[in-house]
Copies of this chain bind each other. A is one copy, B any other.
Amino acid sequence: MENKRRGILERLNAGEVVVGDGGYVMQLERRGYVKAGHWTPEAAVEHPEAVRQLHREFLRAGANVLQTFTFYCSEDKLEISGNVTNITGAQINEAACDLAREVANEGDALVAGGVSQTPCYVTSHSETEVKAIFKKQMDDFLKKDIDFFIVEYFEHVEEAVWAVEVLKTSGKPVGATLCISPQGDMHGVPPGECAVRLVRAGADIVGINCHLDPLTCIRTVKLMKAGLENAGLKAHLMIQPLGFHTPECNHTGYLSLPEFPFALETRSMTRWDIHQYAREAYNAGIRYIGGCCGFEPYHIRAIAEEVAAERGFLPPASEKHGLWGAALEMHTKPWVRARSRRDYWENLLPASGRPKCPSMAIPADE
């Protein structure tokens, strides 16, 4: 059945909006299946029902892509974490592919195999060793039925380029996202230059994920786009930012916030923040629009609802959501009924209920 499904490039080439999925590790941490600080994905083997359910919620929220739950799933990272003594990375990768495929087939979604930064890059800085790790992961994925690859959460464009180079040998499309700020990657390579290097390495789609809030990530993707244009290159653009407000962050993103990772609640975006994000991403020419840490299913639904006109349909989960608060019009309290309209929610400045807390923190890297 999945061979009838149109591929990622087919969709993007046709100008369609592709809605990505949300963040797995942070949401599964809150659900009890991932250890914060390590963030390894052994739940794909240990608790497949939990991963399957989250896949389903993102699908139902309108996601066109389900990423395999394989974040940080290189053998070196798994070993460091100490979380899995009797499960191999290969087992996790394969189980994760099966889960994503099973749920993707319940709808019109594609499966993307995800590969992320390795500890080995920083410790060895050996192209051979790092590429060998990526090759091993790729081989796991290729035993299963995946549609394309996403190289994501790279702080150094050099390592991301190595990953792209490896994964392109599969013959499948490759998307590549860095977790960098508008100032560039950790070696100071500016976003425009990063994009150029990724596309020259073979990436079909480039963009940004994680570390910073949506509007900041859009700024970075715009710089990537400009870099590509200046170089006369072409690629699709994608974005999967944090679902948290991080206005005061600098180079190292939300890792530098005092609230990371156990007190980020108060920075969480509302669904209305996501509407604004999705529209601005669309207006910036980005067509693959998803989320990373902090994006729960209802945030993905908000993307899908914002671009419903462009896509021509609402996601399944909208059957349980009055658009722009419409379902409140029958509420028993008159003042709640008065909130069943778009401009109320668009203009609301939500209070934190925390008068002893500031509105901006002092980042650790300041």
Contacts and interface: CB of A to CB of B under 8 A. Distances in A.
A330 B32 contact: no
Contacts of A329: 37
A3 to B, nearest CB: 27
A48 to B, nearest CB: 11
Contact of A350 (B248, B331, B355, B357): B357
Contacts of A248: 351, 353, 355-356
Q: How many copies make up the complex? A: 4
A354 B359 contact: yes
Given A31-B297, A265-B270, A358-B357, A37 B349 contact: no
B355 A32 contact: no
Contacts of A296: 30-31
Interface residues of A, number: 85
Contact of A354 (B272, B297, B352): B352
A301 interface: yes
A36 B321 contact: yes
Nearest to A271: B262
A32 B333 CA distance: 24
Contact of A359 (B264, B297, B345, B357): B357
A317 B37 contact: no
A38 interface: yes
B361 A317 contact: no
Interface of A: 29-38, 49-50, 53, 56-57, 60-61, 80-81, 119, 122, 213, 244-248, 252, 255-272, 296-298, 301, 316-317, 320-322, 325, 327-333, 335-336, 339-340, 345, 348-362, 364-365
Q: A-B pairs with the 3 shortest C-beta distances? A: A245-B353, A32-B317, A37-B327
